[in-house]
Amino acid sequence: MAEDAGLFDGVFSRGGAKTGSHAWLRAMLDTEAALARALERAGLAPAGAGAAVTDTARAAPFDPGELGRRAALSGNPVPALVAELRKAVPADTADTVHRGATSQDIIDTAAMLLARGALDRLAGHLAAAADGCAALATAHRDTMMIGRTLLQQAVPVTFGLVAAGWLTGLEEAADAVARVRAARLAVQFGGAAGTLASLGADGPAVAGLLAQELGLALPVLPWHTDRSRILDVAAACAGVAAALAKIARDVTLFAQSEVGEVREAGGGSGAGERRGGSSAMPHKQNPVAAIAILGCTRRVPGLVATLIAAAEQEHQRAAGAWHAEWEPFADLLRVTGSAAAWGAELAGGLIVDPARMRANLDATGGLPLAERVAGLLAPALGQAQAHDLVARASAHAVAVGVTLREALLGVPELAGWLDGAGITSAQIDEALDPAGYLGSARTFTDAALAAHARRQK
C-alpha cells in the first residue's frame, strides 16, 4: 500500500517515516494478525487460525479511505476494519479476529509500531548528522571566529567548538530517542475497560504472547488512560527538534550575505536544478536545508502541546482526548524525522569560509578582546578601574572609528593610565591577539570528539 505523494512532502516528509493512512492501516492489520497468532498459541483459537488471519491481513486490498468514511459511525476506523477482516478470512477463523480486544488496543498498539519504525529512521539520520558535525569540528578545531551573545559580537571562539556544540546536542537527543525506543514502546491490550474480562484467566497470557509477536514491551497493565508512553515519544521528538533547530538557526545566521561565514552546498534533485534559488531573484542561494529544518521544528511545539493536553483522560477510556492524539502523533513523528534527514544533509555538506570568519572577527578593531585587556590592567589598577578605562577606550574607538589599540595608545589620558600601570604597547598587542584568548575551546572540542568516538565503538 503506497501513500499518495503530497505537495509539501519534499520538505516535511523527507525522513521517510511511514505515518500516513496506509501506514496506520498496515500497523493495525499487523496488530490484528499478531493477536490471532497469540490467541492460537494460547490455545484459544483453532490450529491454523493465526496463519489464516495473518495471510489475509497481508494480502487483502483494504481501502483506508473507505474505512475512514465508515469511522464516522463509531468514532474510529477499527470496527469497520474488523468487519472487513472477518469477511475476508476463512469462515472457521472469523471468530478469532479481534477476540478480547477493543478498538483502542489496536490503534494504540499500531501507534507504537509506527513510532518504532519512525524512531529507527530518526536514529539513523541523527547518527549521520552527528558524523557530519564531528567532521566539521575536527576540520575546524583551530578555525577562529567571533563568538556572539545576544546577537552581538562577544569574544573569540572557534568554529570547531560551535560544531562540537551541535554534535553534543544531537547525541544527547539521540540518547533520549534510544531510551524511548528500548523501554517505552509497549503493546496495548486491555479489552473493553482494561480488565480483559472476555478472555477470563487467559488474558494476561495472551497479552504477553501478543507482545512477543510484535516485539514490543509488555506493560505492567493496560495503559488506556495513562498516556505517559505517548508523551515520552513526544518528549524525545521535542529534544531532537531542539537540537536540530539550534544548528539550523545558527546556519541561517552565519549564511546571511553580510556575514557569509558558511553556505550550504548547491545542487538539486534533477538535471538543471539548483538548490537555494529564488523564483524572483536569480542571484539568491538560500540555505534551504536549514530553512526546511526550521519549518519542520516550528511545528513540533504545537503538536507536543496537543498531546500533552490530550493526556488528561477520564475513567477507563477517554471521550475525545484519545482521538485527539492520532494525527498530531503521526505528524510529530513525520516532521521530526524530516528535520533529522535535512540535518544529516546539512551537516554533511556545509561549506565553511575561515577567511570570512577571520575578517568578521577583525572587523571591530579589537573590541572583542576588551575583556582580555581589562584583565591585563586589573592587577595594577584594580578590577573596577580597569574595566572602566577599557570601556571608555572602547566607546572612543566606536565614536571616532578607530581600533581599540589606537584608542588605548593614542588618547593621551588613556595612554597615561597605561604608562602609569607599566603596560607596554607590546603587552597591548599581545592582549589583542585573538589566538591567545580562546580559553578551553580546543579542550572542549576534543572532549566532544572523544565522546563521539566512544559511541562508534
My answer on whether 166 and 270 are in the same domain is yes
Any domain includes 21: no
My answer on whether 280 and 319 are in the same domain is yes
pLDDT at residue number 76: 97
**Last residue of one domain, picked from the residues 327, 358, 389:** 358
My answer on whether 382 and 336 are in the same domain is no
- Check 41, 99, 148, 317 and give the catalytic one: 317
pLDDT in tens, the chain (457 residues): 455 678 888 888 898 888 999 999 999 999 999 999 999 999 999 999 999 999 999 998 999 999 999 999 999 999 999 999 999 999 999 999 999 999 999 999 999 999 999 999 999 999 999 999 999 999 999 999 999 999 999 999 999 999 999 999 999 999 999 999 999 999 999 999 999 999 999 999 999 999 999 999 999 999 999 999 999 999 999 999 999 999 999 999 999 999 999 999 875 555 445 555 444 444 447 899 999 999 999 999 999 999 999 999 999 999 999 999 999 999 999 999 999 999 999 999 999 999 999 999 999 899 999 999 999 999 988 999 999 999 999 999 999 999 999 999 998 888 888 888 888 999 999 999 999 999 999 999 999 999 999 998 8
My answer on whether 332 and 235 are in the same domain is yes
- Let me know if 274 is a catalytic residue: no
CATH of the domain at 424: 1.10.40
My answer on whether 245 and 177 are in the same domain is yes
pLDDT at residue number 1: 46
My answer on whether 132 and 217 are in the same domain is yes
CATH of the domain at 219: 1.20.200.10
Any domain includes 417: yes
**Last residue of one domain, picked from the residues 358, 388, 408:** 358
User: Which residue segment(s) compose the domain that 421 sits in?
Assistant: 367-431
pLDDT at residue number 278: 44
**Last residue of one domain, picked from the residues 320, 339, 358:** 358
My answer on whether 255 and 333 are in the same domain is yes
- Let me know if 278 is a catalytic residue: yes
Any domain includes 16: no
Any domain includes 145: yes
Any domain includes 86: no
Any domain includes 407: yes
Length of the chain measured in residues: 457
My answer on whether 219 and 299 are in the same domain is yes
My answer on whether 340 and 374 are in the same domain is no
My answer on whether 196 and 170 are in the same domain is yes
My answer on whether 193 and 339 are in the same domain is yes
Any domain includes 34: no
- Check 198, 228, 278, 425 and give the catalytic one: 278
The total of structural domains in the chain comes to 2
Contact of 432 with 366, CB cutoff 8 Å: yes
Whole-angstrom CA distances from 386 to 45, 371, 432 are 86, 10, 15
pTM: 0.92
My answer on whether 315 and 256 are in the same domain is yes
Any domain includes 221: yes
